[in-house]
Structure 1
């Protein structure tokens, strides 16, 4: 098994700076693919996909968005928002030049934010179970889940049991894949307890006021100005069938529904990986 390299960069944003860290696969000379995870996840979710893309000669960069994994935490909870993430990623992306993008949920929203910028050099784009419209009810479900006190775990087996429950919509994963996810989803504190590997303050922007539908259709013309693959979990409440069908009306868009999944497909199954590898190969 190939093991990833790690990289880091001190990245500014309005009001401060933070350490951005990532795992990287494949030849340094390969055309970059940036893979960005969902709200509470981290870049190691892409290990299976990254190795498949690296085998095709691609340089695959999987950042931990600030507040998650091995990246630094932001100084205030209200900073955990897409504009901050776009600002933090911009120095890394500027060094890459032309690149492709795979974004799961929040990672897809960040990608949609990037394509509206004048210096955008993003080529092919994969949106995993996310689109320009998110229903209020789905946001409320996520907010309510995150608003509970973050659980403490006695050991890695307890972490894995928790992830199997809360991330069941990811689809059918092998025992080894669940264990891999658990190993990279928790950190141990000085008291010997294990905690999920994200800053619990990431929920604060969702708690700041009444929720409403997120409507980003104004960004859609920029988003579909490049080849686009949209993956939708068959039972997803975040990317509804109606929104996916509207996204699919543009000629640059390819829509694939992933059976047996909700929000969001884990991108570890061979058929899901093949969809993305083939799409990014053009």
Structure 2
């Protein structure tokens, strides 16, 4: 018999679930998003997860910031409660950016702050690069020129263990498991799998590993299976060195011109964001600073008090 998945400790702090319809070349799809805090708060914090994760990774961070923000945590298409794409070739950053633009238009914030873990950080950087390069950008306000209902003033951005240059060894490690069809007879076995394949998350107690598993596995036909489209591994594995180099150049250009205060979080043992790349990021952009967490690799899960408070203090620095 499968082990039950416990709810959050405080049922009154459960998020609201909603959906927004987005477009791809192959048609329409729905993107799910989890929402915390006052729905009328026009100060929005958009939290975007890593490659195989979901928006529920940010539960504890969202609870800590729900009084200050409308915290919105999407399940990127192909993950969690969101639809799967008809064409797996569209599981790439440009599609994710387009979906986020659609979501931002739905939310209509007057200020938008961003927390992005790994892939979520790349999406945010690509989006910021597009906005900065757009002739629709209004420099007098420092806003996103996204063609949405209203200009969205840039706020602050957090990049969780990611930067313009990614370590190839770490990418190879991720590529080994992202498309694996792991199936388990019990939820406990799924928890053990996540613990084994995610040592970079750092130390967590038993409840922490349950929380890190319950939204990335779900029960289907009596087995616990991954809660994402395994076909997303196809474009991930087909990237050429030339394409990666071109993408890196574009991301560095976006980073160099990013006009807002930015916080880089790095796991001290990260195999994705090297110490050298993190240092280059700080050197090349005067608006950035870096905080490193010991005993953690890729990526900090933003569940511990020190990680949450570091983000909270940074985001709310101009509110004090």
Indicate whether 1:47 and 2:59 are aligned: yes
The corresponding residue for 2:112 is: 99
The corresponding residue for 2:161 is: 129
Equivalent residue runs for 1:1-282 within 5 Å? 1=10, 2-30=13-41, 31-54=43-66, 56-95=67-106, 96-97=108-109, 98-116=111-129, 117=131, 118=134, 119-120=145-146, 121=152, 122-147=154-179, 149-189=180-220, 191-211=221-241, 212=244, 215=248, 216-223=251-258, 225-249=259-283, 250-282=285-317
1:195 aligns to what SS in structure 2?
A: strand
- Alpha carbons 1:129, 1:231 under 8 Å: kept: yes
Counterpart CA distance in 1 for 2:208 and 2:290 is 26
| Deviation by residue 1:145-166 (Cα, 9 ceiling, x = unmatched) | 224x311011110111111111
Q: How far has the Cα of 1:22 moved from its partner?
A: 0.8
Q: How far has the Cα of 1:14 moved from its partner?
A: 3.2
Structure 1 segments of 4 or more deviating over 3 A? 209-214
Counterpart CA distance in 1 for 2:87 and 2:33 is 22
Moved more, 7-16 or 65-74: 7-16
Unaligned runs of 5+ in 2: 1-9, 135-144, 147-151
Counterpart CA distance in 1 for 2:169 and 2:208 is 30
Q: How far has the Cα of 1:240 moved from its partner?
A: 0.2
Counterpart CA distance in 1 for 2:189 and 2:299 is 22
Q: How many residues get paired?
A: 278
Counterpart CA distance in 2 for 1:67 and 1:144 is 19
Q: How far has the Cα of 1:142 moved from its partner?
A: 1.5
Unaligned runs of 5+ in 1: none
Query: Closer, same or farther in 2 for the Cα pair 1:57/1:210, shift >3 Å?
Result: closer
Moved more, 130-139 or 251-260: 130-139
| Deviation by residue 1:48-92 (Cα, 9 ceiling, x = unmatched) | 0000001x3211000000010000001121110000001112111
Q: How far has the Cα of 1:251 moved from its partner?
A: 2.0
Q: How far has the Cα of 1:222 moved from its partner?
A: 3.2
- Alpha carbons 1:115, 1:222 under 8 Å: kept: no
| Deviation by residue 1:95-131 (Cα, 9 ceiling, x = unmatched) | 3332100000000000011102231534200000000
Q: What RMSD, in angstroms, separates the aligned Cα atoms of the two structures?
A: 1.5
